[in-house]
Amino acid sequence: MSAKLTYGIRDDRLQHIEDVSNGLKCNCICPECHTQLIARNNSTNIREHHFQHLGIGNCSGGVESALHLLAKQVLMDTKTIRTPDFHWDYSPTNSDSFFRVGKTVVFDTMRKEKRKGQPKNEFQPDIIGTIGESELYIEFAVTSYVKREKKKKILKTGRACIEVRLMGFELNEKKLMNLFQSNTQRIYWIVYPDLDKLAKERQLKTSNKPGNPKNEFKSGSTGELSVEEYEEIRQNTLKEAGYFSDELDQQQTGDLNKNIRECPKLSEEVLSLKATRFYQHPILKRIVDGENWDLELFEDSPDGRHIILSGEKVNVYPTYKQLVLLPEEKQKECDLLYLGLDKLSKMVKSYKYINCSSCECRNECNAAINIGAHDL
């Protein structure tokens, strides 16, 4: 049973279903599509109180958008969050890489920001918290996570950034407030420039001296890491930890279904996987049968590597320490899934429409038609 929409927007703030008038008198709109909402909260109504869209069916993203906006609203109201413990390899489950304990931070101000960075490096953090002259970027992951390209843009600003994983979290204001003040693996560092420098210098045994609270998240005086230096550190440490992906993580993101629709040859090759052992894995079967995968493998998540399949988080590998504790059969299942994803990604790479003009499918191939290859 899908979750009910229990928050609507009125006067630029989310309002709970129990705090508004019944019916259209609630004067609320949907957080996703901005359609007018009807409050179903009559005291005689035995069903769960919720909002319903006026004149149309409920939109698919209302609950997720409400959760994202509610997280922002709660954090901006409380101005308080517990920063996560810092691990130099960004793996919270790896006790060997523990570097600095997290702590509860009360911000001077919190704001939403339109854009940060130069035109080519623009990105939009969900919230920026400030303490004195220092800034911390805060991202909320409801249906997608910070990807490598966005991480590079954050790195170029020299600011620290944390992400709060809200996928599957309940749409509940009090529980969100508790989450923000908890020591939880749902909150983790994306980048922390000052401590990255120390990791680069391998100063892992440096004493944990409290810093100036007015410069808590600011880069050190020795200069910021370049994107190239940061990526080198990340790759080396993750390889040493045993869970870095050399193949999938380097690929271009995209849309598997879109590529299949545009290229008959690719569609034929993907369907040929039905006759292989890969099709026996339930996740690979879903992809081959048509569920959408964006070709992205997230290797930086605190709970291991995963993909997003039709909006759902699907684990590929747990962290290395968790993986080695799994029974051999479970490890083989993880290997099979990873190899299958790798094979699918390589299939897409091999069909980038380079030879569309000489392909026998060029007349009915959308990709060839779109780039004019049939006229070459």
Question: What are the tens digits of pLDDT across the range 277-288?
Answer: 889 999 999 988
DSSP-derived letter for residue 187 is E
**pLDDT at site 7:** 95
pLDDT at position 44:
77
Is residue 164's pLDDT more than 90? yes
Distance CA 339, CA 342 (A): 5
Q: Is the pLDDT of residue 241 over 60?
A: no
Reply yes or no on whether the pLDDT at 118 is more than 90.
no
Contact 159, 137 (CB under 8 A): yes
pLDDT range class, residue 365, cuts 50, 70, 90: low
pLDDT, tens only, 192-237: 888 777 766 654 444 344 444 445 565 433 344 455 555 555 455 4
pLDDT at 46 > cutoff 60: no
Tally of CA atoms within 13 A in the half-sphere of 334 that contains its CB: 20
Instruction: Say if residue 15's pLDDT is above 90.
Output: yes
Query: Which of 166-175, 211-220, 342-351, 361-370 is modeled with the greatest confidence?
Result: 166-175
Nearest to 311 by CA among 134, 65, 41, 102: 65
Angle formed at CA 308 by CA 307 and CA 311, multiple of 5 degrees: 170
Residue bearing the bigger pLDDT, 62 or 301: 62
The residue among 104 and 214 whose pLDDT is bigger is: 104
The whole-angstrom separation of Cα 245 and Cα 229 is 18
Q: Are strands 187-191 and 127-131 parallel, antiparallel or unpaired?
A: unpaired
State the chain's mean pLDDT as an integer: 76
- The gap between the terminal CA atoms of the chain, to the nearest Å, is 52
DSSP state of 11: T
pLDDT single digits (tens) 300-329: 566 678 888 877 788 887 776 677 678 888
Domain locations in the chain? 7-60, 68-241, 248-358
In which residue are the tokens 């996560």 written?
84
Once rounded to an integer, what is the mean pLDDT over residues 116-129? 75
- Burial, 336: exposed, middle or buried (Cβ in 10 Å; 0-12, 13-18, 19+)? middle
Check if the beta carbon of residue 45 is closer than 8 Å to that of residue 39: no
* pLDDT for 372 beyond 50: no
The type of residue at 222 is: T
Element (H, E) at 80: strand 80-82
- Check residue 242 and give its pLDDT: 42
> Residue 66's pLDDT is what?
95
C-alpha triplet 260, 262, 263: angle, nearest 5°:
65
Q: What is the pLDDT of residue 229?
A: 53
Q: What is the pTM of this model?
A: 0.60
